[in-house]
Amino acid sequence: MRPIRCRLSSLLLLPVAFACGGGPPAPGSPPPPEAPASSSVPLRGAVSVNDSVLAFRECGDPGPEGRPLTGDTAELAAAVAALEGGPGVGIYAEIVARPAGAEALVLTELVRAKSFGQGIACDGPVFDGEFAASGNEPFWGIEIREEGIVYRSPETPKGRTYPYARTPTETGTLLYATRIDTPSVSTLEVALEPGRCADTMSGELRGLKAHVVLDGAKREGCAYAGLPRGGFGDDPLDELRRWAGTYLDRAWFTASVPVASRLQALLGAKLEVFEMNMSVRGPLMEDQGVYYTMGNAPHRGGRDNAVFLAEPSTDTIAVILIEDARRTDYREGERDVPLPAEVRTYLANIETP
């Protein structure tokens, strides 16, 4: 299986902020510092302990087992012990690792680690901005995107949006300083400093310390890097990597940028049937370069089902729709998309009398 290389991290993608907007520095100002380049992009997935050996399973990997992790695993092992929700549950992690033979991985960096939420086997979609930060006592959250910086708190649950503004520094710390004038004057400064940081409530480990000043009041917390849209590759469907391993909500098929308009064109009047037949579905998986998810209408498994398939290398979307046990295949440009092994098994079980 081709590994899913989700390019996000807290420490290793610091250059993202400099490449993703804000414009060049003002004339005469020093150029922004460059973070050390990494030899590998982070992988994201689940880490568990099997027979005292750490194993890593990438988000979207349909295989039943993870790959053994060797190298300097002490910090990761401690994170599993501290954050695991129960025996064998494991944790979500972002790591940098290199292959060791056909199966094993050598861990070189722990980037981020957190507990799973509500038993879901992988973290949510990759954050589509530059950085996200949060802190506690009092709670606050910040999302930094090129189109604006949003600050949220219990007093402003819908968020307050500030203009995007980044200031170069000479120390390696990323500094965003901005203000709004209406409905009242408010200033916001966000400094992101490289360094291990643990959330004071959840224990989640991140790779950036966040120092925030809101209207003169200081806040402290942790931050991690995201990946803006277009960062996964040049192929139109490469954006699907953002959701690998996650459970897509029903609206995703009619609202998401990568596929919504194309599904409408492909299915036409059958789009509503497809949505219904995806009411109960599994996560978005990836096998040999093909993304897929399978579902069925409530209480109608085996008679009203659907399979969504996408192959970025050929820029092709396909749907298999089963209505009252009758199968119809829909393919863009009549191009075939290879069926992953899990999909073949799924269809065989449905079609067997």
Predicted local distance difference test score (pLDDT) of residue 233: 87
Q: Is the pLDDT of residue 25 over 60?
A: no
Domain edge (last residue) among 175, 190, 225: 225
What does pLDDT average to over the chain?
A: 86
Confidence of residue 12 (pLDDT cuts 50, 70, 90): very low
The CATH number for 286's domain is 3.40.1420
Predicted local distance difference test score (pLDDT) of residue 91: 92
Q: Count H helices and E strands in the chain, helices first.
A: 6, 20
In angstroms, rounded to a whole number, what is the distance separating the alpha carbons of residues 94 and 109? 9
User: Which range of residues forms the domain containing residue 139?
Assistant: 131-225
Whether residue 141 is found in the same domain as residue 86: no
Which 8-state DSSP code applies to residue 277? Answer: H
Q: What percent of the chain has pLDDT over 90?
A: 67
Confidence of residue 122 (pLDDT cuts 50, 70, 90): confident
- Determine if the pTM surpasses 0.85: no
Whether residue 26 is found in the same domain as residue 99: yes
Task: Say which range, 109-118, 257-266, 275-284, has the weakest mean pLDDT.
Answer: 109-118
Domain edge (last residue) among 164, 198, 225: 225
Predicted local distance difference test score (pLDDT) of residue 120: 63
Whether residue 135 is found in the same domain as residue 220: yes
Contact 243, 227 (CB under 8 A): no
Closest CA to 310 of 301, 319, 321: 319
Confidence of residue 26 (pLDDT cuts 50, 70, 90): very low
Q: Is the peptide bond before 138 cis (omega within 30 degrees of 0)?
A: yes
- DSSP-based three-state secondary structure for 101: coil
**Structural domain total, the chain:** 3
Confidence of residue 119 (pLDDT cuts 50, 70, 90): low
- The per-residue pLDDT for range 27-86, each reduced to its tens digit, is 444 443 333 333 345 789 999 988 888 999 999 999 878 899 999 999 999 999 999 887
Pairing between β-strand 104-114 and β-strand 67-71 as defined by DSSP bridges? parallel
Which pairs with CB-CB distance under 8 Å and at least 24 residues apart come from 314-322?
315/235, 315/236, 315/237, 317/237, 317/259, 317/262, 317/263, 317/266, 319/263, 319/266, 319/267, 319/274, 320/347, 321/267, 321/270, 321/273, 321/274, 321/277, 322/277, 322/350
The CATH number for 74's domain is 2.40.50
Asked if residue 235 belongs to a domain, the reply is: no
In angstroms, rounded to a whole number, what is the distance separating the alpha carbons of residues 135 and 141? 7
167 or 327, higher pLDDT: 327
Q: What are phi and psi of 313, to 5 degrees?
A: -65, -30
Following DSSP, what letter does each residue of 126-166 receive, concatenated? Answer: PPSSSEEEEETTTTEEEEEETTEEEEEETTEEEEEEE---E
Predicted local distance difference test score (pLDDT) of residue 29: 41
In angstroms, rounded to a whole number, what is the distance separating the alpha carbons of residues 154 and 223? 19
Whether residue 135 is found in the same domain as residue 58: no
121 or 225, higher pLDDT: 225
- The per-residue pLDDT for range 251-268, each reduced to its tens digit, is 899 898 899 999 999 999
Contact 337, 290 (CB under 8 A): yes
Whether residue 248 is found in the same domain as residue 150: no
Contact 212, 133 (CB under 8 A): yes
Q: Which two tokens stand for residue 314?
A: 């050929």
Whether residue 30 is found in the same domain as residue 100: yes
Whether residue 330 is found in the same domain as residue 261: yes
Contact 340, 292 (CB under 8 A): yes
Asked if residue 234 belongs to a domain, the reply is: no
Predicted local distance difference test score (pLDDT) of residue 41: 58
In angstroms, rounded to a whole number, what is the distance separating the alpha carbons of residues 121 and 4? 16
Q: Which residues contact 235 (CB under 8 A, 6 or more apart)?
A: 312, 313, 315
Asked if residue 3 belongs to a domain, the reply is: no
Torsion of CA 244, 245, 250, 253, to 10 degrees: 20
Q: Which residues contact 325 (CB under 8 A, 6 or more apart)?
A: 302, 303, 350
Q: What percent of the chain has pLDDT over 70?
A: 86
